Amino acid sequence: MSKRGWFVILLAVSILATGVVNKSAYAGSKLINWRVVGTYSNVYFADPTDSYALKHGIMIDIVAKGPPGDAIAKVVGIPGDYIPAGNPYCVSDGTPYPAIEYEFDDMVVTFNDQSMLFAALDYGYACLGPMPSTFHLNIVGGTGKYEGATGYLAGTFVGGPVSASGILWWETGSIVGEISK
């Protein structure tokens, strides 16, 4: 066989092997262990189910570093009930603090290869004191290599206002979890 014939066969086998490796590389599960930083701001959303009344919400932009890959994320949430001090969630050095429970929290994570991962709130609360806020989300799909993904995310964050205006806040923390496919 000619060199060109061997080259074509070698190229075809390489392409097929790469396709098999890529498909199996995302089968099963992947652990998530991100260090995250970002910004948080209060916003108002139009509620189309209520004559477009304005509803208070939050918008968070996150930069995530670590497995399963570096990414950016956008989170949009709607706060719910105020939980008075004494709740089991927000205690620091024996002192209880109030919290705000969240009704909704949707998240889109975009990876460097432009695959996306979608998640929706399971439960979460923002502590109004010197301890981290915690959010638990269920993975509900994605695009690219994460199409059809399921799993969970658990995020823990601390932050504070950038200036006295209180318009923009910084935050830092971690997100751990598992992506299943």
Which pLDDT score is estimated for 178? 97
Sign (positive or negative) of CA dihedral 143, 145, 151, 157: negative
pTM for the full predicted model: 0.78
Residue by residue, pLDDT tens for the chain (181 residues) are 554 443 333 333 333 333 433 343 456 799 999 999 999 998 988 877 877 788 889 999 999 999 999 999 999 988 888 888 877 778 888 888 888 888 888 999 999 999 999 999 998 888 888 888 889 999 999 999 999 999 999 999 999 899 999 899 999 999 999 999 8
Question: Can you give the chain as a three-state secondary structure string?
Answer: CCHHHHHHHHHHHHHHHHHHHHHHHCCCEEEEEEEEEEEEEEEEEEECCCCCEEEEEEEEEEEEECCCCCEEEEEEEEEEEEECCCCCCCEECCEECCEEEEEEEEEEEEECCCCEEEEEEEEEEEECCCCCEEEEEEEEEEEHHHCCCEEEEEEEEEEEECCCCCCEEEEEEEEEEEEEC
Q: Where are the domains of the chain?
A: 28-180
Biggest alpha carbon distance in the chain? 80
- CA 103 – CA 136 distance, rounded (Å): 12
Which pLDDT score is estimated for 24? 38
Which pLDDT score is estimated for 60? 94
Which pLDDT score is estimated for 20? 38
| Contacting residues for 3 by C-beta, under 8 A, at least 6 apart | none
CATH code reported for the domain at 28-180: 2.40.350
